[in-house]
Structure 1
């Protein structure tokens, strides 16, 4: 996904949250355990907050990422670590997760 923009009349209806959640579900099926990255303009606080609510963490800030230049501002690189199950204890309730970092 190269970008996600919700048209003004559909905002505040959790459209972006549903779309981004579906992207995370699909990505976890296609590449289990792999991290997902998102670059957002630092001025887009609503988008940053949504990503943080869905489990992303801030990884880096810069005026330029992969050819994208944030004129007059900076971009925020966010990372969502997908857990990879490395061991399940079938006799008990314990499940160990290993996170790729």
Structure 2
């Protein structure tokens, strides 16, 4: 799926480490299709997303729970899968923290506009936050308070 999306495929050990880390969440969207030979069908992965927990601050990027990578198969984009995966990750974060964070290339207005729907607002800009570097540009650090908590 990552290759079809033109992205680097995460190493199996990287995903296994994320799955095995109780401070992180990995969510996967699948569709089950019927197969004549098998009564239980087969599943196709349509997308996945993860969270990351930073236990230390890095400049203007504080410690806390961050939305991590998200990928949806190109032929399944614009069907709400990214929204569902993001809502699941945010629900998980907000059960653990009063705010969620994410970093994005500052020129990615589509992502920024989408995340505003969950209350994300820009906090800072920099060429990198934690281990995410923005080659040839700058990134935006975004914050969203848990629904029902005080806003900033």
TM-score normalised by length of structure 2: 0.50
Partner of 2:12: none
Q: Supply the distance in 1 between the matched residues of 2:130 and 2:120 (Cα, whole angstroms).
A: 19
1:14-93 matched pairs, under 5 angstroms: 14-29=80-95, 31-32=96-97, 34-83=98-147
The separation in 2 between residues aligned to 1:78 and 1:55, in whole angstroms, is: 9
The 8 Å contact of residues 58 and 78 in structure 1, kept in 2 or not, is answered as yes
Equivalent in the alignment of 1:99: 150
Size of the alignment, in residue pairs? 86
> Does the 8 A contact of 1:35 with 1:100 survive in 2?
no
**Preserved CA contact (<8 Å) 2:94 2:100:** no
Q: Which has the higher contact order (CA 8 A, sep 6+)?
A: 1
Gaps of 5+ in 1: 84-96
Could you list the runs of 4 or more consecutive aligned residues of structure 1 that deviate by over 6 angstroms after TM superposition? none
**C-alpha distance 9-43 of structure 1, shift in aligned 2 (>3 A):** farther
| Kept after mapping to 1: 8 A contact 2:127/2:135 | yes
How far has the Cα of 1:12 moved from its partner?
Answer: 1.2
Give the aligned CA root-mean-square deviation in angstroms: 1.9
Structure number having the greater helix percentage? 1
Unaligned runs of 5+ in 2: 1-50, 52-67
Q: Is the 8 A contact 1:42 1:76 kept in 2?
A: yes
- What is the TM-score normalised by the length of structure 1? 0.72
